[in-house]
Amino acid sequence: MGIIDKNLSLRDRNKMLLGIWEDEDKLVEATSELVHAGVKIQDVYTPYPVHGLDRIMGVRRSWLSIVAFLCGMTGFSLAFWMIYYMYVQDWPIDVGNKPVRFSPSWVPVLFEATVLCTAFGMAFFFFFRNRMIWGIKPELLDERQTDDRMVIAVETGEGVDEKKVLKIMKDHGAVELREKTGGVQTTI
């Protein structure tokens, strides 16, 4: 598995069917109806996190927590090695008769370094996985999808019954239906 989530890119896809919603509950209904009908949903775009939608779509739980743990271990080890090298091995300093070997004095620095590595390691993983980078062009399907509208995108192809998809969307409160071929969207 590559780090970047390939599902996020919309380039080089077949024709896509788009449904637009304005009501969160109806969107959730439509999504679960589509999933029940065996349709593979490309993605659902919402202006705010809709609780439980990822579970309905069957998105696997992210590996972020494991990455965070590994980054934390790395940070802890690096910090331990740093202090050990600088303070015990290379040039021990006797200040106020405090021991140079491992002591409670090490704890604050070890803790801070662990947190720092965990936070930034996890954040970089998050950015890579989500294909997020400064300056990248967003692939928007509707200009109000970051405001108040929600979009369900279904990629067409073999085994996708377009009529059925559109019907489910329409029956469950889609305010607008469109199809997208390449960069061109047409209202149905």
Among 2, 11, 12, 93, binds another protein (CB under 8 A): 93
Instruction: Determine the Cα–Cα distance for residues 177 and 71; give it in Å rounded to an integer.
Output: 44
Structure tokens at 49: 């996190």
Burial classification of residue 18, based on how many CB atoms lie within 10 Å of its CB (0-12 exposed, 13-18 middle, 19 or more buried): buried
Size of the chain, expressed as the number of residues it contains: 188
Among 137, 158, 159, 184, binds another protein (CB under 8 A): 137
| Cα separation values, 46 from 14, 49, 83, 162, Å | 22, 7, 47, 23
Report CA Rg, the chain.
25
**82 scored as a contact of another protein (CB under 8 A):** yes
Piece in contact with another protein (CB under 8 A), picked from 11-19, 90-98, 159-167, 177-185: 90-98
**104 scored as a contact of another protein (CB under 8 A):** yes
Question: How far, in whole angstroms, is CA 121 from its chain's centroid?
Answer: 15
- Shortest distance, position 75 Cβ to another protein, whole Å: 10
**37 scored as a contact of another protein (CB under 8 A):** no
Within 1-30, the residues that bind another protein by CB under 8 A are 5, 7-8, 24-25, 28-29
Among 64, 73, 175, 188, binds another protein (CB under 8 A): 64
Within 146-175, the residues that bind another protein by CB under 8 A are 146-148
Among 1, 12, 103, 183, binds another protein (CB under 8 A): 103
